[in-house]
Amino acid sequence: MALRCVYTDLDGTLLGKGASLFRDGEGEFTLLPARALEACHRAGVEVVLKSGRRRAQVMEDARLMGQSSYIFEVGSGLVIDGETTWLTGAFLPSEGRTVHQLIAETGAPEMLLRDYAGRLEHHSPWHLDREVSHLFRGSVEVGEVNARLEGLRLVDNGEIGAGTHAYHLVPAESSKAAAVERHMRARAYPPEHCIAVGDSREDLEVARCVGEFFLVANADPSLHGEATVTEGSHGDGFYEAVVGSLMGR
């Protein structure tokens, strides 16, 4: 397989402790993620970040890595060579109103905080200054919540502490998988020339659009049966997935 593109999540995948590119899951210094990025650069393989983070954050992270495409806010937005495409269905920013404001106007964020009080709260301080998703933390049954939502969905973006998960409330159409598919089409990358790496259920959905999907070892064990799991955690697992794929393993 001639690898053309790697789609990777940031937190819990490419980044280690403290969201550092140069730390493994335990906080030890590691160059493996950087080595993997170097290997991609030498082989002419594009690396596309796909994250739940805000646009400004993912833009800077992509720039640090010398990349011109990135996916932000759980696939709500895709940037290719400076051009932004919103993948938010009917929730399109207009007349100075952001998707975040449009979602607020549905009343859904208020309803969630009220009906799941004690189980869901704002993921402070990261819930501020957002363009798209309303960000929460806590512990809820996502399927149950989503059955009550219309035109929106709550995405479980993984565990951030013992039993506590981060959740993004996004337009129902937004997903990392849809954004990856859109990027592949724009670049004319065949699925078998692409891989993806991640640690969450939302990442795992990308498996259906790419040639091979890798879960890093620190991913929730309940997901392990559904994809190739690397031996290494975080960025070390990313290195394994990338280098193995480049060697055509």
* Interface residues toward Mg ion, by CB under 5 A: 9, 11-12, 158, 199-200
Choose between 53 and 193: whose C-beta lies nearer to Mg ion: 53
Q: What minimum distance in Å lies between the beta carbon of 25 and Mg ion?
A: 12
> Closest Cα partner for 152 from 160, 142, 163?
142
Task: For Mg ion, give the closer residue by CB, 91 or 214.
Answer: 214
Smallest separation, CB 219 to Mg ion (Å): 8
**Shortest separation between residue 148's beta carbon and Mg ion, angstroms:** 25
Closer residue to Mg ion (CB): 100 or 168: 168
- Least distance to Mg ion from the beta carbon of 188, Å? 28
Alpha-carbon distance of 243 to 249, in angstroms, equals 9
Q: Which is closer to Mg ion, CB of 69 or CB of 157?
A: 157
Cα separation, 153 vs 197, whole angstroms? 23
Measured over the CA atoms of residue 172, residue 176, residue 178 and residue 182, the dihedral's sign is: positive
Measured from the CB atom, is 14 or 108 closer to Mg ion?
14
Minimum separation from the CB atom of position 52 to Mg ion (A): 7
Name the residue number minimizing CB distance to Mg ion: 12
* The token pair that represents 202 in the structure block: 């939302």
